[in-house]
Chains A and B, each alone.
Chain A
Amino acid sequence: MTPTDTRGPERGLVEIDHVAIDFPGKGGATRALTSTALRLEPGTFTAIIGPSGCGKSTLMNAVGGFLAPSEGQIRVDGKPVAGPDPEVGVIFQQYALFPWFTALGNVKFALRRLGLPRAELEARARAALAEVGLAGQERKYPGQLSGGMKQRVAIARTFAAGPKALLMDEPFGALDAQTRSRMHELLTQVWRAHRATVLFITHDVDEALVLADRIHVMSPAPGRIVETLDLDQPRPRSAARFDEVQLAARARILDLLRGEPERLAA
């Protein structure tokens, strides 16, 4: 979509190299995430699913540069993550739109770092909103938009910054089922156009099956990846039309999420 794609083929290789995360507390640190090694191939869509409190958001925060791992290292295209970086975009469940800016202003905020001339900045921001189906809504403030529309603005804003990798922490958790499935279509479409490497955190099995190439299932705290499933069904996918592989995967994931961690480890 954007003609500024000057990155090489190694666009958005995310390496999570034996990362463990502890939280300090009374009487010593608590381990939130046990040593985890993941490799997200450029342009792939990876979902992490697990019960709440399993450390999946903690892992995402570490990849986003919001917290430093206690052990190990995270690299994006070989460069260690040392803090928040526009190459690693983040979409939050609470949208995190700036309510004092219009929809257009929010997208412009992300584009500003590119140092574009004013007219191009405006045009690119408008195009980004049009891409998520918000043409004509540019002048609205987040407070005037519905939850789904806010998340569209957030998606437009994040992709506008041209991230190589994209982190999404239960981004559609606050939306109703219908809006959510429309957002899945939209995300699939925008993601295919921009081809960022996506790490998607969710606790919704169907959501993971609709969106991801690869699903990692995590155990309850302290979090650990207990199983990895690959999906190669063509997109766009629909939860209403899962094939046998997807149905089997769904049953397996639900079992894993329900089961005791001891038995799973065996």
Chain B
Amino acid sequence: MPGTSERIARLLDEGMAAIAAARGESDLLDAKGRFFGKKGAVSAILKGVAALPADERRAVGELANRARAGLESAFDARLAEIREKERLRSEGRERIDVTLPGRGPMPGHRHPVSQTMSDIISVFRRLGFSVHGGPDVEKDYYNFEALNFPPEHPARDMQDTFYVESTAGDLVLRTHTSPIQIRTMERMKPPVRIIAPGTVYRSDSDITHSPMFHQVEGLAVDRDITMADLKGLLTEFCRMTFGPGKPLRFRPSYFPFTEPSAEVDIRCVICGGSGCRVCKESGWLEILGAGMVDPAVFGFVGYDPEEYAGFAFGMGVERIAMLRHGISDIRLFFENDIRFLSQF
């Protein structure tokens, strides 16, 4: 039946056009339904093939099958095309800008003095020292007298003292953390191994002196402690704090509560020893004071200096923080400018 084959050819053209024109998946499925789905026109012809005269059956069947196959492959291709387009479109819509900042607070910053103090404490705690504190408003006895600063001794001039109103007139703002040595030794018997961090006060103010600053004090008392032990401990501390390869220099000095006393210098961390403004051309930076506990101090706390020996050391935390971070004006520490704090 020539009519049938013409119809098949027309359906094929129409179907192909519908597939090509489909804009989305539903258009496409709609076209499939109309032409080659179960109830589609081509399928209907195929279903009718059996009823055709035998001589037409073969030709029509072949033609219709070919048309369906052509439509199916066009459908598949178009479907893939539409899905790809869809995917591309939705991807564009859902893709996020991963370079935008994340949500939630950004971390704050530790104060460099507090961080330095904390690092110093943790070094000594690892070396077997435990932390002890004491009052900021201190008795003259603990701040001076029991540390072997007699009342009319010029050594008292080494520290410009703030006095605090009190009825007995014997209160000062501690000028160093050393009174904690006395308070601790009064409380415990040797062996003693303590560090005493704290706030201290001296009436002095310029770019390297602040009326309030921080110190860490250390004290070890035992039967056989020597100055060589002190040297070893401080060498280890400096290695852990400033890194390896920085030689130390111990120089004789004077503190009323230690004898022999030493000042400890480290090879200038700025110029490496060739001389610069920071080390005043000496190649060395003074970082701490130390010495063997003076027998007079043991006398005040009831330790027998023939039986026990001890060493003590003390350092200014701000000074170490200034060296570590290259800060030249101590006053910056107390301004609490967030732009400053954010650098650490």
A-B interaction:
no
Residues of chain B having any CB pair with chain A under 8 Å: none
Residues of chain A having any CB pair with chain B under 8 Å: none
